Amino acid sequence: MQTVDIPSFEYTSKNDGPRLLITGGVHGNEHGCVHAVEKLKTYLDDGTIALKQGTLSVIPLINKRAYEEKQRFIDRDLNRNMHYYDDIKHHEDPISNTICPHLEKADILLDLHAYEGGDIPFVSLGPDKVEEKEFGTMVGPTEICWGFQQSFADQANASHGIGMTEYARQFDAIAITVECGYKFDDIATRDVGFDVILNTLQYFGYADTLDIERTKYPYNDNPPTPKWIKYNRAYLKQKDGTPVRVLKHLDKITEGEELYKYDDGEIITAPYDGFAVMPRKEPKVGETILYAGLVDEPLKDAN
């Protein structure tokens, strides 16, 4: 099976504990997230952060060529259809083969991203783990979206909804994505990403990080009540077209509102009153136009 060389760095404590994996650079044009994970590595190497338990695996840059070319990806979105590939057709296929074993070994995964349809940092988590919900509320951002994979359930290729965190959850990991803000603001996304990293290390007891300055999200044992949004339905671009109006992340949408118009006249309308989640102005065919979101909290009975 074809793989590629992706630099990864492992730090092991004398004390037993779970394996935490922190990743950046899945998408090549999210540079601030790469810089946040690189900053973590610097702090580990110079002793500013000392590991107290378990194993910490750090992968700052996963898709190097896309990063160098400042592209989201080269041939296909690496954070979709995550699995092993025997028949290599795309630049990202051997990268998947290389990353999958890391995801399988992780007990906890923090995957840093940024996005283009807004600047509000938010957490993305799965629908059915109390530990993951608690983790998501502690890392900093108070906007939390959930159920990404399930939003693709009615698509012809449902595996489009399996990315880094979804794959890791198949092996019982506690896994969250943090969208650190507007992807082209490298400084802001780096700072948010590093805050989130520090809060993660503190929350799980990997290191004492309270004395390290945060930029936006100080560690909080009693975080404010989050706003919950469910990724209810994904809309993939099927052919050429344009948005009817430019939406930003968490803009309100109204049932029946025209959202996207294909060049042949077909129109995508909002299925209900809700919110636009991570809308994109110019997605390529096969990419997500937006997710139609609803206010809903996962695992309400677990509170």
For the stretch 144-157, pLDDT in tens is: 999 999 999 887 77
Q: What is the pLDDT of residue 193?
A: 98
Decide if pLDDT at 18 tops 70: yes
pLDDT at 129 over 70: yes
Averaged over 76-91, what is the pLDDT?
97
159 pLDDT above the threshold of 90: no
The C-alpha atoms of residue 111 and residue 21 are separated, in whole angstroms, by 8
217 close to 122: Cβ distance less than 8 angstroms: no
pLDDT on residue 302: 63
Q: Give percent of the chain with pLDDT exceeding 90.
A: 93
The superfamily CATH assigns to domain 9-225 is: Zn peptidases (3.40.630.10)
Average pLDDT over residues 93-105: 98
Q: Does domain 232-297 have CATH number 2.40.50.630?
A: yes
pLDDT, position 110:
98
Q: Is 59's pLDDT higher than 80?
A: yes
Q: What pLDDT does 160 receive? A: 87
Q: What is the pLDDT of residue 15?
A: 97
Give the mean pLDDT of 181-190.
Answer: 95
User: How buried is residue 101: exposed, middle or buried, by Cβ count under 10 Å (0-12/13-18/19+)?
Assistant: exposed
Higher pLDDT among residues 159 and 28, named by residue: 28
pTM of the model: 0.96
Q: What confidence score (pLDDT) does residue 300 get?
A: 82
What is the pLDDT averaged over residues 194-210?
98
pLDDT > 70 in the chain, percent:
99
User: Cα(first)–Cα(last) distance of the chain, in Å?
Assistant: 44
- Residue keyed to tokens 């065919």: 285
Residue 196 contacts by C-beta under 8 Å, 6 or more apart in sequence? 36, 110, 112, 139, 140, 141, 178, 180, 217
Q: Is the pLDDT of residue 236 over 60?
A: yes
CB neighbours (10 Å) of residue 85?
A: 17
Give the pLDDT confidence score for residue 155 in this predicted structure.
75
Confidence of residue 303 (pLDDT cuts 50, 70, 90): low
Residue 296 has pLDDT above 90, yes or no: yes
Give the Cα separation of 124 and 127 in Å (integer): 10
C-beta of residue 123 within 8 angstroms of C-beta of residue 144? yes
Mean pLDDT in residue range 72-93 = 97
For residue 123, what pLDDT is reported?
98
Q: How many whole angstroms separate alpha carbon 114 and alpha carbon 192?
A: 10
Residue ranges covered by each domain of the chain: 9-225, 232-297
Kindly report each contact of residues 263-269 with a partner whose C-beta sits within 8 Å and lies 24 or more positions away, as own/partner. 263/239, 264/239, 266/241, 268/235
